Amino acid sequence: MKSEKLKAKSEKEPESDIIIEDAEVVPEPSELDKRKALSAEFIDKYQRLMAEFDNFRKRTAAEKMRIYDNAVGDTVARFLDVADNFERAVRAVRPEAQEDGFYKGVNMIFKQFTDVLDQIGVEGIDAEGEDFDPNLHEAVMHVEDGAFSEGEVVEEFQKGYMYKDKVIRHSKVKVAN
């Protein structure tokens, strides 16, 4: 009986068109729209990948340069004792023996050695008369002397060297207190 009433009621009501004014109808995306979205996604991924690769290339280039600089510094450090010995040999010659061919040969080798260091970019650290800098100098002695200002390097015992703002060997110095 209830079903007959519902049936009768539905037969009496006319079908009406429902109109919703504020609703926006979203059409089904076309194949072109799907392909545009997929293309935009691929472009974004490509751009990110290229940026990541560029960063990787820059990082590896910087790392290669750092490795090269360290290798040059380590190699030069091993030759600095040879340079010191040549310098001692040149200084040890008496003035009357400076015209001797052996002295001239040793002096030429020492000059050639220092020229090569200059060409590579290795620079000597100025010490004597400068203010003591623990980043550049190694104090092996202190002296109390009023003729010098406090912290001034009085004497250099062993020359220090730098390569591209990196200390290869600190200068061994005597410092005034």
β-pairing, 137-143 vs 171-176, is parallel
Whole-angstrom distance, CA of residue 82 vs CA of residue 85: 5
* Residue 36 resides in a domain: no
Secondary structure (3-state) at 146: coil
Question: Are 155 and 136 in a shared domain?
Answer: yes
Write the pLDDT tens digit of every residue in 68-123: 999 999 999 999 999 999 999 999 988 888 888 889 999 999 999 999 999 999 99
Domain shared by 135 and 114, yes or no: no
Q: Are residues 147 and 161 in the same domain?
A: yes
Out of 101, 120, 139, a domain closes at 120
CA distance 111 to 105: 10
Asked whether residue 174 falls in the same domain as residue 127, the answer is yes
Co-location of 175 and 132 in the same domain: yes
Same domain, residue pair 61 and 97: yes
pLDDT at 75: 95
Among 120, 146, 168, the domain boundary falls at: 120
What is the rounded CA–CA span in Å between residue 136 and residue 42?
A: 54
Structurally, how many domains does the chain consist of?
Answer: 2
* pTM (predicted TM-score): 0.68
Domain that holds residue 54: 46-120
Query: Across all residues in the chain, what is the average pLDDT?
Result: 87
Residue 174: CATH number of its domain: 2.30.22.10
Last residue of a domain, one of 90, 105, 120: 120
Residue type, 99: E
Per-residue model confidence as pLDDT tens digits over 113-134: 999 999 999 999 999 999 999 9
